[in-house]
Amino acid sequence: MFKWFPGIDRRIRLLSKRIFFNRYPQGFLETNWSEIRQSLVAHYSLCIVISLITYFLPNSRDFEDESLILLQSSRITLIVLSLIFLWRHARKKDWVPKKLEFYKVWTSSTLLISFFPFLYSDKVHYDVYLHQASAILLSMNLLLWLTTTTAVATNLAFCFMFLGVCYLGDSPVEAMQEFPILLTYLFVGTFGNVIMNYWRTMDYRDKKKLSGAVLRLKAKNLHIRMISNLDDLTDLYNRRYLIEQFDIFKKRARRHQFQMALVILDLDHLKEINDKYGHMAGDDALQTLSAVMKSRVRSTDICARIGGDEFCVLLDSVDPKSLKTLCESLRKGVESHPLSVRDPNDKPVNITVSIGAAILSYDEDFTFDDLYQSIDSGLYKSKSSGRNRVTIVEATKLNTKVDLSASWPEEVRIYK
């Protein structure tokens, strides 16, 4: 029958497999755990309501005493079972998803089986019992988050048991007149189960894909942010990131009451190295200095390149003695690391660095420019003293009252 539509048989097989033999994706039950538990509570509450309605149904006058006792006992048993199942589910908090799936199936099946004595013994209310049992079956299909395979298997088992009860009854023909109603319930339940499972799994997969895309986007944004804060050549932080961290360090120093420090390193004779050995040697000098800085500071300190040959280290929780020791370690470390190039005499080319530093107390209110200007004067002293020196100065306020326009000739000024 499929020869007129090439490939349709394969598509039908794949669609049927996806609908009727589709398992929930990994992590699906764990993600929707709270909704599943709430749905199970709603299902058992419905079963309790149906059980109470069954209990208060009026009895037929032609009942014998033994049959009446059996019927009332069955009604009470149905109510007690519904209450026990609801209490057990509410009390147990550490459900394993697979065990909860088994618990949902066998408890609901037990409640359905409890209706068959009513169908067999109370012929007067046969249609009422059938509708009530079908309502529980419909609730199983729609509320219990069963896979389609489990739902179809439960529906078929209920059909076979219903046919068995009809065959054992006194009037199977009259009982079979209610069979179309049962089929309607089963069709609605199965169709609703298929639609809801498809919607739930597709929604779960879409959310999972979206969360994965969000995580990748966050990772890329973090990578972009890291790149924007780093210097390409030396792999140190740039000036903008250093100034941001300076404000953070100040707040932390004020909160925990410790001293912070700023160290500025200026590479000596970088222009001469570029002119004599080329810019590759100059880049090698910058990378050597950055490697020495990263190897001698703590992981909590900030190393940055703030200019062409100017570098900076931002330190927290430091005292004058340890600051002096660190600066000397940086100076000697740069001096003892020759470049990869050699001079005309085939000797390694060594580089040196001039260093200026200042300590900022937690109760002092200095800006980055204040501290930078103070250290710049110390750095100038190191340069003028022959370079390859360390000078530690006291921080002073930046003079912002200088009138820069006074250095311009009067006739150059357009606005007065």
Please tell me the predicted confidence (pLDDT) of residue 332.
93
Considering the domain boundaries, does residue 329 fall inside one? yes
- Say if residue 172's pLDDT is above 90: no
For 136, the domain range is 10-213
* 46 lies in some domain: yes
| Domain annotation covers residue 5 | no
DSSP structural state of residue 169 = S
The active-site residue, picked from 122, 284, 309, 370, is 309
Q: Which of 287, 284, 266 shows the shortest CA–CA distance to 274?
A: 284
Are 15 and 143 contained in the same domain? Answer: yes
309 a catalytic residue = yes
User: H or E stretch including 199?
Assistant: helix 179-229
Q: Taking the CA of residue 40 as centre, how many other CA atoms within 13 Å lie in the half-sphere pointing to its CB?
A: 27
Name the pairing type of β-strands 260-267 and 310-316: antiparallel
- CA angle, 201 as apex, 198 and 206 as ends, to 5°? 120
Confidence band for 401, pLDDT divided at 50, 70 and 90? low
Residue 250 within a domain: yes
Model confidence at 169, pLDDT cuts 50, 70, 90, reads low
Domain of 249, CATH number, reads 3.30.70.270
CB of 270 closer than 8 Å to CB of 308: yes
pLDDT tens across 318-355, in order? 999 999 999 999 999 999 998 988 888 888 889 999 99
Residues ≥6 apart with Cβ < 8 Å to 284:
339, 340, 341
Answer whether residue 412 is part of any domain.
no
C-alpha span between 44 and 46 (Å, rounded): 5
Whether 389 and 249 share a structural domain: yes
Q: Are residues 199 and 268 in the same domain?
A: no
Q: In this structure, are 196 and 286 located in the same domain?
A: no
pLDDT per residue as tens digits for the range 20-77: 556 677 777 778 888 888 888 888 888 888 888 877 777 655 555 556 676 777 778 8
The number of domains in the chain is: 2
If you compute the radius of gyration of the chain from its CA atoms, what whole number of angstroms results? 42
One domain for residues 312 and 378 = yes
- Nearest one of 120, 125, 117, 118 to 169, comparing CA atoms: 120
**Residue 355 to residue 334: CA distance in whole angstroms:** 11
Render 70-131 in DSSP notation, one character per residue. Answer: HHHHHHHHHHHHHHHHHHHHHH-----HHHHHHHHHHHHHHHHHTTHHHHHH--TTHHHHHH
244's tokens: 């941001």
- The single-letter DSSP state of residue 408 is S
Do residues 146 and 98 both lie within one domain? yes
Query: Is 84 a domain residue?
Result: yes
How large is the greatest C-alpha to C-alpha distance in the chain, in angstroms?
Answer: 126
Q: Rounded to whole angstroms, what are the CA distances from 165 to 115, 187, 356? A: 11, 21, 98
**3 phi, psi to nearest 5 deg:** -70, -20
Output the pLDDT for position 250. Answer: 92
104 and 244 co-located in one domain = no
What is the layout of strands, in order, in the sheet containing 302-305?
Answer: 302-305, 310-316, 260-267, 353-360, 390-394
Average pLDDT of the segment spanning 252-275: 91
pLDDT at 167 over 90: no
Same domain, 58 and 200: yes
**What are the DSSP calls for 314-347, one per residue?**
EEES--HHHHHHHHHHHHHHHHT---S-B-TTS-
Q: With beta carbons less than 8 A apart as the criterion, state whether 285 and 335 touch.
A: no
Residues 84 and 180 in one domain: yes
- Does residue 77 belong to any structural domain of this protein? yes
How high does pLDDT run on average in the chain?
80
Statement to judge: residues 196 and 256 lie in one domain? no
**Does 198 share its domain with 288?**
no
Please check the confidence at residue 408 and state whether its pLDDT lies above 50: no
The answer, yes or no, to whether residue 137 has pLDDT greater than 90, is no
Predicted confidence at residue 312, as pLDDT, reads 94
Query: Which amino acid is present at 318?
Result: V
pLDDT band for position 90 (50/70/90)?
confident
Residue 410 domain-assigned?
no
User: Looking at the structure, do residues 37 and 161 belong to the same domain, yes or no?
Assistant: yes
